[in-house]
Amino acid sequence: MSELIVIGYDDPDVANNAYEAVQGLQKDFVVNLSGLALVSVDQEGKTHVDTPNRLVGVSAASGALWGTVFGLLFLVPGLGLLAGAAFGGLFGKLAKSGIDDQFRDQVQALLKPGSAAVVVMASKITEDKFAAAMQPFGGTVLKTSLTDEDEKELAEHLAGQAG
C-alpha cells in the first residue's frame, strides 16, 4: 500500500525546509519514497515544481504511477476536457482508489498564491517517526492511500497505454 501525503504551507521557506527533512527521512529509512515534490505558487499564481534528481529504489512502474498521480493533482486543469477513453479510464481508476475529485480539490485549495506544498508518495512509512519529524514544520496535512491492488491495476493500465 502506498500513502499519498500532501502537506500545505503558507510560507514557501517552511515548505522547503520540510521538503529537505523528508529527503533526510528517506536516508534514515523512516520513509521509502515512490515520489516527492515541492510545489509552490508564486504571487502571480504560476505553479513551480521541484523534485529530487533521483529517488533511490524507485522502479519505472512506481515512477510512472507517481507521474500520473502528480499530474492528476496539479497539472490537469479539468477532467471534463479529457474526452479520450484511455485517460478517462485511468483517471476513473485513480478516483476509485481514493484520489477522487474531493481529494484533488482539497489539494488545490491548499495552493494559493504565495503558498507551497510538499507532496509525498511512500511505499513504506513509519508513521510515528514521520509525524514526529514533520511536526515542527506545522502545515495542513491531507492523506489518502492506494492499496496494493489499486497500484497493480494502475501500473498495468499505464503499461497498456504505453504500448
Please give the span between the terminal C-alpha atoms of the chain, in angstroms, as a whole number. 26
Answer whether 0.85 is exceeded by the pTM: no
Which residues is 31 bridged to in the sheet? 125
Q: In what helix (H) or strand (E) does residue 21 lie, and over which residues does it extend?
A: helix 12-27
Q: What digits encode the pLDDT tens for the residues 146-160? A: 777 777 776 666 566
Q: How many CB atoms lie within 10 A of CB 72?
A: 19
Torsion sign (Cα): 151, 25, 74, 10? positive
124, 152, 156, 153: which is closest to 5 by C-alpha? Answer: 124
- What are the extents of the domains in the chain? 2-162
Tens of pLDDT along the chain (163 residues) come to 788 899 999 999 999 999 999 999 999 999 998 888 899 999 998 888 888 876 555 555 556 667 777 776 776 554 444 444 444 555 566 656 667 778 888 888 888 999 999 998 888 999 999 999 999 999 999 998 877 777 777 666 656 654 4
